[in-house]
Structure 1
Amino acid sequence: MSPDSSPSAAFVPPFYADDAFVGTPEQFEEYEAPGADGLQRRARDLLKERMGTATAPVSTSFACGTVGVQADQTHYSDGFGLFLPLRQGVAVAARYAETTQITFAGHEETWTDEAEAPPSWLVAMRRILQELLADHQVEVAVVSTVPGICRDGYLAALAVAVMRVVRALDVSTAIDLNSVQSLRDDLVPLLAGEIGTALDCPYSTGYLLATFAGPEPAFTLVDTATREHLPVETEARTALRWAVLDPGAPEPRPVEFHRQRQAQARDALRRLRENGFSGLTSFRELEHRDLDDAIAVLPEALCPVVRHLVTENRRVQKHVAAMRRSDWQMIGALLLMSHASQRDEWEGTSTAADRIVAEAESRTHDGLYGACMTGRSGAVIVAGRPNAFERELRQLSHEVADAHGHAPHILAP
């Protein structure tokens, strides 16, 4: 078992790659994710290994990871998101101490408040602890099998696991961590705000809401405007095979890109309210039939942004409908349309993700239904027929390796 130690470690949070990824496509069906109890034991062991034994009792917690099937538009404007819960997750162990110290499996370092230039994922965790614990000091250890390439889902799982371990420590907090209403109205916006501040770019409440929904729903539909989440009743999780592919070379857009897109979304909403769409607060409220009229009153530079945000929200609704009626080909088509919109309208995809999606699209007659980039770090989600999935995943991996020098890592969600 070896943690991820790639050159991209400063960008992606640390995780146990051997436990997260399938070794080869042939092992896809046999993969078993480490359970929550086992990961919590590892976190407890890591805490004692790095920080020694102590008289203070140790509390542990776990939260599952998530990936967005179609969800990343909610980082920039409230709307609908469709999420796939992962079998992989994040475990946290914590105990009271004289000084707050944090350590992650996969990094040898143990951080304190004096650490210089800490990575964004550490900053997010530290800020959340400060908000929840106030004057209390803790020692914390983190173990993850959520790949760093799924950074948005990783950070949501980390935040929820931290909240749960604070609750287990049984300390008074500013937010009632046992109240569903407080979690929805107070905690979720707080966590999203702290993560966004740490990343220095917008971060959706959708990933947090989907994480709170847990691993049981096959898929989770989230409305970030109302902060509600609903399970999607569908056979799509078992009737299809799903995989998340890590191209192995993250090509993240700079934080300025995400801040610019958020500013453009806000500017477009303001202009639309001033030109016949009074009361519009997010693009989830703009009907698809009104899109052409909306585009007509906007500057050209804002039109692609609005087209993506409106059509992606609409695709979420279509995707849920397709799942409920078992229309697998439509699911694949919606994945491909989502990627095309992210690539051409939003200009937010990576070259590596584009290559994998193009290869998957070339195999839609052979067993793969579709694919699209998921998250903002370049991972790709792929869906296909069970009886052909392993074969086509193997061929896809070989083609990508032949063309680009290395095969993508495979996550079996």
Structure 2
Amino acid sequence: MSALRDPLARRCDDAMHQAFGQPPDFHVQAPGRVNLIGEHTDYNDGFVLPCAIDYRTVIAVRRRPDRQLRVVAADLHGETDEIDLDGEIAHHPTQQWSDYVRGTVRMLREHLAARGLRLAGADLAIAGNVPQGAGLSSSAALEVAVGQVWRQLGGLGDALLSPTDLAVLAQRAENRFVGVNCGIMDQMISACGQAGHALLIDCRHLARRRAVPMPAGVAVMIVHSRVRRGLVDSEYNTRRQQCEAAAAHYRVPALRDVDETRLVQDATGLDPLVFRRARHIVTENARTLAAAQALQAGDLKRLGELMAASHVSMRDDFEITHPAIDRLVEIAQGAIGPQGGARMTGGGFGGCIVAVLPDAQVDAVRAAIEAGYRSPEGEPPAIWISHAADGSGVLP
């Protein structure tokens, strides 16, 4: 879609005109994502199978001749931020969204300075439609879109700022600046997604990622449980620490290096809770590789079996689901039957489920979910039908 017809681009343009009185020079975008399978495996150097979705962050960009960055958030009543690109980039005292921008800018500045380059000044207006608090990576979409701004401003090719670089710098911003110890998956699929495909990512060897075509006539359904993910950051960090403890027990760099046989044979002395956390990661890696094969072959029955096993593992071993999420998966899977699957997706403790199913079943599954599910507060679910989208880039 061209920028002239894109409603997010128009929203950005309106905000830029109101805040800065000028039109933009160009627009960039970066999508959110849904992970089909492979949960919490990314920071264990394992495998994930996400696809970019057609919900995204758009940024209108206007070049400045000086060393200032001015930003307006179109979706937040026109809140603004201003950054001196030659000064210290610290946390914003009150605006959480600003820290995602500031952190990414700081990591970009360090990356380019090491190559003898400087960030150009700019005015930015940001708008997005990735649902927030739903586990669909609105933060990664924002970070990667911010990185894409300077890839275009500087005319930088892959040798100086590749899509993989964008993902790594965005992850670094979230880890080191925002303070969430996420893995690389969210940023990598936002930067490198391919329309019509999921992406099998080897999180240890990022260049080994492989596009896996989505079968024709297959829909990806995302259902928001309306359960707010209030614990996700602290519990996410705790799960990561537990995985690191397990890797230390097995004397490996990461749990990716442990198979199911060794997991059991060398478990003596490992805390039972930590063992269950490790068991989820080890088995989830195996499921993810098998799911990529099933998707490639168009075998929705096998894919559904793997997604069901993934959800049970997240519920019982990793303990990141929620009773309402479990119920939502049960309803969806019951309506889909054997020709597809459903599971929780994202960091956990609420948010969304993802279902992969034939197009012909979408209406019936939607109706079953709408009739059978309410959140603990009595709210109806939000349901989106998505398509695998391209990663970040410039709007035409």
TMscore range, shorter length = 0.7 to 0.9
- Displacement of 1:334 after TM fit? 1.4
Aligned to 2:213: 233
Partner of 1:395: 368
Q: What is residue 86 of structure 2 aligned with on the other side?
A: none
Contact 2:163 2:191 in 1 (8 A): no
Q: Amino acid of the residue matched to residue 46 of structure 1?
A: A
Residues 361 and 370 in structure 1, CA contact (< 8 A), matched pair in contact too? yes
Q: Report 1:209-224 matches (<5 A).
A: 209-224=188-203
Other-structure match for 1:252:
230
SS in 2 for 1:91: strand
When structure 1 is superposed on structure 2, of 308-317 and 150-159 the one drifting more is 150-159
AA aligned opposite 1:51? F
Structure 2 CA distance for aligned equivalents of residues 181 and 341 of structure 1:
41
How far did residue 209 of structure 1 move?
Answer: 1.8
Structure 2 residue ranges without an equivalent (≥5): 83-90, 110-117, 387-396
Query: Residue 295 of structure 1 contacts residue 306 of structure 1 at CA under 8 Å; is this kept in 2?
Result: no
In structure 2, distance between residues paired with 1:95 and 1:196: 28
Superposition RMSD in Å? 2.7
Q: Is the 8 A contact 1:128 1:191 kept in 2?
A: yes
CA distance in 1, matches of 2:354, 2:293: 19
Equivalence for 1:160:
144
The separation in 2 between residues aligned to 1:252 and 1:197, in whole angstroms, is 21
Cα deviations by residue, 1:57-115 (Å, 9 ceiling, x for unpaired): 63321122211112331353111100122122221112245653322232114232595
- Equivalent pairs counted in the alignment come to 363
For the residues of structure 1 that align with 2:160 and 2:279, how far apart are their CA atoms?
34
- Structure 1 residue matching 2:277: 3-state secondary structure: helix
Q: How does 1:285-300 map to 2 (within 5 A)?
A: 285-300=257-272
Q: Residue 76 in 1 paired to residue 47 in 2?
A: no
Task: Write the letter of the residue equivalent to 1:245.
Answer: V
Listed one character per residue, the Cα deviations across residues 102-129 of structure 1 (whole Å, up to 9, x for unaligned) are 222321142325953221x431112212
- Name which of 27, 43, 50 aligns with 2:19: 50
Q: Which AA in structure 2 matches 1:110? A: E
SS at match of 1:349: coil
User: Which stretch shifts more, 226-235 or 177-186?
Assistant: 177-186
User: TM (normalized to structure 2)?
Assistant: 0.82
Task: Select the structure with the greater relative contact order (CA < 8 A; seq sep ≥ 6).
Answer: 2
Where 2:12 maps in the other structure, the secondary structure is helix
Instruction: Tell me, yes or no, if the aligned pair for 2:375 and 2:381 is still in contact at 8 Å.
Output: no
The alpha-carbon distance between structure 1 residues 36 and 298, as it changes in their structure 2 partners (threshold 3 A), is farther
SS at match of 1:157: helix
Cα distance in 2, alignment partners of residues 370 and 136 from structure 1: 47
Q: Which residue, out of 80, 89, 94, partners 1:111? A: 80
Q: TM-score, normalised by structure 1?
A: 0.79
Residues 189 and 115 (structure 1 numbering): CA distance in 2 closer, same or farther, change over 3 Å? Answer: closer
Cα–Cα, structure 1 residues 402 and 142, in superposed 2: closer, same or farther, change >3 Å? closer
- Per the alignment, residue 192 of structure 1 pairs with 171
Q: How far is 1:180 from its partner?
A: 5.3
Quote the Cα distance in structure 1 between the aligned partners of 2:375 and 2:99: 39
Q: Sequence identity, in percent?
A: 22
The reply to whether residue 281 of structure 1 matches residue 270 of structure 2 is no
2:186 maps to which of 207, 212, 215: 207
The range that moved more, 87-96 or 221-230, is 87-96
